[in-house]
Structure 1
Amino acid sequence: GGVFSLIAVVLMAFMFITETYVFLGAGPVREVIDLEMDVSAELRMNVNLDFPNLECSDLTVELWRAAVRSQPRSMEKTLQVSQFNPISKRKRRYERIVNAKKGAEGGFTGCKVEGYVNGYNSPGSLKISAPPNANLSHTVNAFSFGPPQTRDQAKHLARLPEKFRKVADGTLDGRDFFYHANDKVFHHFIHVVPTKYALAGVRKHFMAYQLLHQDHLSHHDDDEVDHWSVRFGFDISPMVAKVTNQGSTRWYDYVTNLLSIIGGAFTVVQLAERCASTLF
């Protein structure tokens, strides 16, 4: 009897530890597509663009919503324009001076636009304009949406399978959009798909934004007689993809499973003890 009692205790302890580990630990990674309304109404757009053949004095940056110019008050503080040397890749602070003489001292022939813009979660476009016949060829060093990831978030993302972590990768990062025609400009269209990550070991869920990008080289618009523009048009998908590896077992299911497993183990051991007593 004592041996079977010991076996029962060990078996029930093992079942308890196993069920608790499954309940608290990470499960298989899965993705769910759902319509969610809790996506932040204000969405941060991060940009880092180089215009190697355009002087900063000729450049204008604007944010548009449909046909309406929507310029956030903080945009001048969060978005920095710097003179850029396309050969050395160096930059220096640019100060706009009225009626200043144009020149490319020290090889700073280009202009860099970097920083972020806080805008509403609705379709719009980032518009970079210059005088007619300006060369708006550009390099996209970085273009993304949402706040930067923390070190802890990046660490947990790196542990996911590639198809789940590549959502946060930069689609446009490091790409060149150069052209030689004087009457054409690049237009970009970006469809933004929000992805919510609810991962085991992370206290709070966080968001990442996948960019589905298309571009085309087209003639400048007929209504842009006094300026030409590169546009980064974007819209935000109402559908949210949720990626999680958290266990899907509810606490009441956990308690029910635990009681049934322990009770079943006790019953099996009790039956085995009776069979052994009958045989021996």
Structure 2
Amino acid sequence: MRVALFLTCVNDALYPDTGRAVVKLLERLGVDVEFPMGQTCCGQAHYNTGYRRQAEPLARRFAEVFGEYDAIVTPSGSCGTMVRELYPRMGARARAEGRGDSLAQAVAPVVPKTYELTEFLVDVLGVTDVGAYFPRTVTYHPTCHGLRGLGLGDRPRRLLESVRGLELRELPGAEECCGFGGTFAVKNADVSVAMGEDKIRNAASTGADVLCAADNSCLMHIGGTMSRLKVGMRPVHLAEILASTEEEPLV
């Protein structure tokens, strides 16, 4: 199986350690991972801001770069949702506007083989115990795109529950949005800040050392709120926890 890592813009620019963790994890499980150097933005920021036609070349680019692979793995529920849910909508919209089926045909091959990391681990590789060791107390925040867009369900929790040394604590109001929402945080800053503060208060009430999520865009917002509120808790991407072992602990 040829597997490609779709890192995403946010991770490439700000959180490269998450990408390294995905590669380390998958290679430990016997998967050879390739990183196509031609990958760029998936177009989510453009599409969600209303520049839908401008996102189309990026969708075509994604299909061109990743089309040859058997599986495309991403550590981002939001970008995974862009490919799986919104690329087909873009193709249908182009058809409805009389611009033909070329976009729909271009993206069709990559849509079903794009997986968020936990989906790939549980559904494709069939594992929940990935050999991780992380002796911390952790609370898990299910991000909106992962929860509602991709329907990740209990996959992330099952993976966390199998990590040696990890104590998983329930997050009150776990399914409530953290307030990021991409440009929502910019356009509706006061509401976004209030939602973030609610999320952090609930997280702090667990007494956990770490707040874990499967999307760094949300963790960026959560981490900033933690810093402002001076909460003694770290935001950590799920991939970095799963990549951590007794021999190579997470720094």
Superposed pair shares fold, TM > 0.5 = no
* TM-score, scaled relative to structure 2: 0.27
Task: Tell me which structure has the larger Cα radius of gyration.
Answer: 1
Q: Name the one with the larger helix percent.
A: 2
Q: Name the one with the larger strand percent.
A: 1
* TM-score, scaled relative to structure 1: 0.25
